[in-house]
Structure formats: C-alpha cells, structure tokens
C-alpha cells in the first residue's frame, strides 16, 4: 500500500492539485475518523494557504444553540400507518430543534420510510455558521445515520478544509431528503415536497450565516429556480430568506467527473468570500 500523506499536508496537497488541474483522489483507504482527524490538523495550516483559506474567526455571541431553544408544545405527529400517507395534513413542525429531530426520526410522511434503515437528520453543530445541504442519504448514510460519509463525504471534508472550514467545528450538514431512495435513485417531486419542510425548519433553527447547496436538487429547492441547470446556478451568490446561498456540484459528482473539481473549489472560494464579508451579490 502506498504511504498516506501526512495529516498536515493533505489539504495543502489537494489545493495544489486543484490549482494545477490535477484530480487524483487519495482518500479511499482512510476511515472517516482518520479523515476528520486529518482535517483538524489541516485547519491549523489554513493561514499558510492564503487569504482565502483563513480559518473562521471565533464566532461572536450571536444566538443560543438550536438545542437550547425552549421546547415548544408537543408536535402533532402523524399516524405511522402507511395507509394514512397522503390523506392527512402535514405535521405542525415544532420550534424546538430536539423536537423537530425526534419528529423526523419517526416520520412516515412518504414511502421512503418503508425501505430506509434509519432517518439521516444531520451532522455537525446546530449553531454552525455554515450549512451544507445535500440531496439524500446513500447506502453508507442509511447504514450509519450520518450524512456525507464514505468517499464523497471525505472528499467534501477535505475540500472544505482547503478554504479553512472545519466540518467538525463550523459546518452543519443536512439533506433535502432524510431517507434513502432505494438504489440511490433521484428523489421524486412528491418526496421532496413531503420532506422539504424539515429542511426549511432546520435552516430556520440553525440560522446559518451562509448556505452551500451541493447538487441540483438542493440548489433548485433553495433558489426556487426549478428550470435552470446546475451549471447556471453555480458561480454566483443567491439568497434563501435573506441568507447568502452558494450552489455547486455534489461531491459524489466530482468523484465521477473530476473536471468539475476546479469549479467546485472556485465555488468554495466564493463561499469563503461571503463568510469574510465580501458578498458580491
């Protein structure tokens, strides 16, 4: 087996590879824990990677963690009977983060509840400054209950580190769908309609300073632009209910087509500029 890059070299190495047009992926043999440990070290190197990679400054006292929000009255839960789906009205979503999560973990609003192993609600601190929104759980996520694990997740972690963002400390991740579509098929419009209120409520409660939508389903949902191709949505700053929003490719797509890695990285730099107060929208 080839030697792995040292932890504190990896983010710098990836950044250099992108700048040079390289695309080799070198994370396949690493566990998620190894990748996250590596990223902690990589974040410490951020100042040496240039201004665009400066680490996030310590967040000002801005608001309590969503977990600290005063619990709301008990939500109205739907019947678990699949036969009820489509007949009753959607549940009233609570203003408590914990209650929202509990509600989602028991959700039977669409047919994906029948094939999922577990609901994949989120990962990362619920008072994070950056929120990444993906598409739907895959096999690894369905198995672990954590979004963006596996090769695509590790690649996302490292790419975030190249612009000074620590997934562990600064990034909250959620998907448009909380349950895995069988065979990783695309989400249906009905499934998105059923599940999107959870995501919208997550955004309301987490109150991120900036959103990063990865992939066309999250990009179209959050921009409200259902007609434009992903390539038209990326490369600019949108806004979702006043929150700056950058749209880019899904990291799994980068693994299939490495030519998109450079564009993804430019979008991350745009995200970084927004964080640094240089919103050019």
- For residue 206, state whether it binds ligand SF4 (rule: CB under 6 A): no
118 versus 228: smaller Cβ distance to ligand SF4: 118
**Residue among 52, 160, 177, 268 that touches ligand SF4 (CB under 6 A):** 177
Of the candidates 135, 144, 100, 121, the residue with the CA atom closest to the CA atom of residue 252: 135
- For residue 107, state whether it binds ligand SF4 (rule: CB under 6 A): yes
What six digits make up the tokens of 17?
């590879």
Strands (E), the chain: 130-134, 171-175, 210-214, 237-240, 243-248
What six digits make up the tokens of 111?
């047919």
112 versus 275: smaller Cβ distance to ligand SF4: 112
Segment lying near ligand SF4 (by CB under 6 A), choices 53-61, 112-120, 143-151, 241-249:
112-120
Least gap, CB of 102 to ligand SF4 (angstroms): 12
- For residue 113, state whether it binds ligand SF4 (rule: CB under 6 A): yes
- For residue 195, state whether it binds ligand SF4 (rule: CB under 6 A): yes
- For residue 110, state whether it binds ligand SF4 (rule: CB under 6 A): yes
Least gap, CB of 119 to ligand SF4 (angstroms): 5
CA distances from 149 to 66, 144, 167 (A): 23, 8, 12
* Helix, strand and coil percent figures for the chain, each rounded to 5: 45, 10, 45
Size of the site for ligand SF4 (CB under 6 A): 14
Least gap, CB of 95 to ligand SF4 (angstroms): 18
DSSP letter for 123, please: B
**Residue among 129, 154, 178, 220 that touches ligand SF4 (CB under 6 A):** 178
Least gap, CB of 83 to ligand SF4 (angstroms): 14
Which residues have CB under 8 Å from 26's CB, separation 6+?
4, 5, 10, 13
Burial (CB < 10 A; 0-12, 13-18, 19+), residue 199, is buried
Using CB under 6 A, list all residues that contact ligand SF4. Answer: 104, 107-110, 112-113, 119, 177-179, 191, 194-195
């Amino acid at each position: 087996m080839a030697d792995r890059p040292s932890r504190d070299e990896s983010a710098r190495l990836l950044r250099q590879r992108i700048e040079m047009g390289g695309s080799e992926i070198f994370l396949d043999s690493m566990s998620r824990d190894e990748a996250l440990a590596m990223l902690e070290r990589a974040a410490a190197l951020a100042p040496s990677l240039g201004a665009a990679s400066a680490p996030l400054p310590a967040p000002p006292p801005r608001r309590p963690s969503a977990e600290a929000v005063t619990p709301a009255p008990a939500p109205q839960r739907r019947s678990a009977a699949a036969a009820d789906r489509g007949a009753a009205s959607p549940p009233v979503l609570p203003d408590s983060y914990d209650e929202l999560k509990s509600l989602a973990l028991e959700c039977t609003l669409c047919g994906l509840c029948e094939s999922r192993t577990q609901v994949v609600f989120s990962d990362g601190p619920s008072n994070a400054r950056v929120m990444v929104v993906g598409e739907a759980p895959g096999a690894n996520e369905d198995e672990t209950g954590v979004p963006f694990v596996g090769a695509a997740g590790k690649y996302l972690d490292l790419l975030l580190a190249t612009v000074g963002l620590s997934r562990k400390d600064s990034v909250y991740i959620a998907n448009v769908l909380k349950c895995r579509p069988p065979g990783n098929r695309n989400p249906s419009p009905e499934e998105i309609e059923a599940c999107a209120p959870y995501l919208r409520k997550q955004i309301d409660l987490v109150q991120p300073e900036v959103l990063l939508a990865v992939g066309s389903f999250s990009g179209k949902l959050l921009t409200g632009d259902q007609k434009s191709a992903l390539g038209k949505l990326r490369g600019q700053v949108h806004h979702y209910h006043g929150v700056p929003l950058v749209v880019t490719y899904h990291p799994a797509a980068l693994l299939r087509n490495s030519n998109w890695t450079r564009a993804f990285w430019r979008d991350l730099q745009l995200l970084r500029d927004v964080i640094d107060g240089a919103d050019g929208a």
